[in-house]
Structure 1
Amino acid sequence: MAIPTFLKPRMLLAAGAALALSGCFGVPDVLKRGDGGEKVSSRPARPSSSDAPSFNSSSARQCAVDLQQAGVRFTPLPDQQHGGGCSSIDSVKLLDIGTPVSGLGPMTCPLARNFAAWAQHAVRPAARKFFGSEVVKIETFGTYSCRNIYGGRSGRLSQHAYSNAVDVAGFVLADGRRIMLKSGWNGDRSSQDFLRALHKSACRRFGTVLGPEYNAAHHDHFHFDMSGNGYCR
């Protein structure tokens, strides 16, 4: 059916208004070509139960940028409240820091950033200096654990309960040697010098550093976390 001439201007105005309103309530994502030729969305994906949300704080978002600029591969993790006061907030899963690492779970982004930098700028050079070999693996006892401070009488939660701590147990060299805290801290001279150099360098990167000389609970590992203000034992 033909549209009367006098109605056409009104219909054009209505259509224009509808398009303007659609801009207020959202429009389809625009796809563009990525560097590899794949189609990527120009808008960030909306968070869901399976998608990692944006970090809450500006400092955490800057931390993610720092990791990217350092060439570290990681996955942001959804915020979680685990119960009992334990949580994982603004945390990541490290995928590749240039050296394989065992046992890593959720880590707060600042902890992950400093750990990756420590591995690159302290662990690898120290292995070359003291052993003439490359580190091919860093072994840890893990990160997140909903528990209190070991040996503490206050009943306070450990920084592990906030995904804000990592325990380093030892290192595997390219020639097959394993330099472990349990046997190496008071072992041969090269192992002692290597581990003490790493302890000293960690004290410049983490808020709290605890080693075998702190107490019996730490006889076999370094504890690093981002709390405190340069507490080094």
Structure 2
Amino acid sequence: MVPGADPSVEEAVPVFKESVGVDAISAKENSVPVTVIEAQVPPQTYYLLQYGVFSTPERALQAKEELLKAGIAAGGDTEDQNRVYAGISPDREQAKLLSNQLKTQGVELYVRELELPGFEKAAYGGEGDKLTGFFQLSSSLVGKLSGLSSTLLGEGGPNTVPASDMKELNDLHQQWTQNITALPTGLPKEAFASATSLEKAMNSAISALGEYNKNTAKEHIWEVQSSMMEYVLREKEFIQFIKQ
């Protein structure tokens, strides 16, 4: 719990692993026929810092506000609105280091493994290669942004991102933007809103990292973390809509 937080808010429930299925929401259940294409998308694993599982969405919202007031990232699951997260990393050990660092500030967190399922068939009215390429670029960008932001938060002093790394990220982001812009016309209608949210979250992360390089304020790095949590949780939703 964040120091000074409302003690009536429930403590975290230590659940450590989540594997996302597709039974709850699936493009297969659509009443409108969809085009099914082949795509080669491997599973992806990320490590979220879970702040707590709360009794109501209102309690979860209160917990998010506590984290934000403490200058920490805050994210919530679109499916389980009572679950609150405070960070993300593509690496378990890196996630543990960030969790331990926040523990010294009085913030208790659990490392929760989140696996996004891979798939070989998808409901999509476009080319399978484009969809596969989108997920490849997403994986690369999320891995780099979440890993880099975790590293920067764990370092003792402010350090700017090297120009070569920023160029690589900006080039990847440009490719990703071109890719996602072409996706919506072939998506099932249920997946369209998720794609829009993905674009917003990724753009926010890139923008925040650019701002950090101007003044090295850690609040921008926490914004990258928040955006990456939002992205991964929305990507989970997106996969549920298109996986066959």
Regarding TM over 0.5, the answer is no
The structure number with the bigger radius of gyration is 1
Higher strand share: 1
Higher relative contact order (CA 8 A, sep 6+): 2
Higher helix share: 2
TM-score, normalised relative to structure 1: 0.29
